[in-house]
A = this chain, B = another copy of it.
Amino acid sequence: SATGNSSANARLFAPYKIYKGKAALSVDPILPTFSKINSGTGGLRVDRCGVIMLTFCPAIAERKYDWEKCQKFALSPTEVGSLISMSAHGASEFYHDPSMKSSNAGQVSKKLSIKALDGGNSYMISLTVTNNILKSTERLNVPVTTAEFAVLKTACSFALPHIIGWDRLTNQLPKGIEGSPSKVNPKQHFDLEWDR
């Protein structure tokens, strides 16, 4: 491990959960992974982008859910952008093929639908998983209140810079403080357009 402070590295489980009659929805940000750049400057590059993981679990009794039969849908940064910009009359649909570009492509398809109802007074989030081999379709519906949707939007807006890796900016020390103070340059950021 890179550090003796193991709690800093520890995976954190802090899903936001919405429990409803027929299914539960759990929302959980997954951070990007980074890799070192070979050049020896110690630079880091985002290797695999983060996601907001949605996990839908079917109800088996009142307030009981079957956590073994959950279905997942990983929202990419742009799909998160679609969620957080949704208006009170909007609707979004996303399609994923978990085996995309492999030999199993097309066997299973997932559709996530987010729909505003009643002019934004509530929302329906639905995951449909179609298995074309087994000829089966599973559909998990979670009705979401305006208040719950506001939590989703606020939490996902907060998480978005983190899943694209921009929050790492905060942790960096300021550049240039070791050198002698450079003179203030009136054409400062135009330089960047040439030099970089």
Interface string of A1-21 (1 = CB under 8 A from B): 111001111111110100000
- The answer to whether A77 has its CB under 8 Å from any CB of chain B is yes
The answer to whether A160 and B168 touch (CB under 8 A), given A41-B11, A150-B84, is no
**Chain A binding surface SS class:** mixed
Contact assessment for A47 and B184 in the assembled complex, using a CB-CB cutoff below 8 Å = yes
User: CA separation between A74 and B190, bound complex, in Å?
Assistant: 7
Number of interface residues of A (CB under 8 A): 101
A110-153 with Cβ < 8 A to chain B: 110, 145-151
A57-91 with Cβ < 8 A to chain B: 72-74, 76-82, 84-85
Which B residues are in CB contact (< 8 Å) with A188? 48-49
Closest chain B CB from A84 CB (angstroms): 6
Contact assessment for B192 and A12 in the assembled complex, using a CB-CB cutoff below 8 Å = no
Contact assessment for A192 and B14 in the assembled complex, using a CB-CB cutoff below 8 Å = no
Contact assessment for B35 and A14 in the assembled complex, using a CB-CB cutoff below 8 Å = no
Contact assessment for B169 and A29 in the assembled complex, using a CB-CB cutoff below 8 Å = yes
Q: A12-B45, A13-B43, A44-B174 are in contact. List 14 more A-B contacts (CB 8 A).
A: A12-B168, A14-B45, A35-B176, A48-B184, A48-B189, A51-B189, A73-B193, A78-B151, A81-B148, A96-B190, A98-B194, A100-B187, A102-B187, A159-B169
Can you spell out 8 A-B residue pairs with CB atoms less than 8 angstroms apart? A2-B7, A10-B172, A11-B42, A12-B43, A14-B32, A14-B164, A98-B194, A154-B161
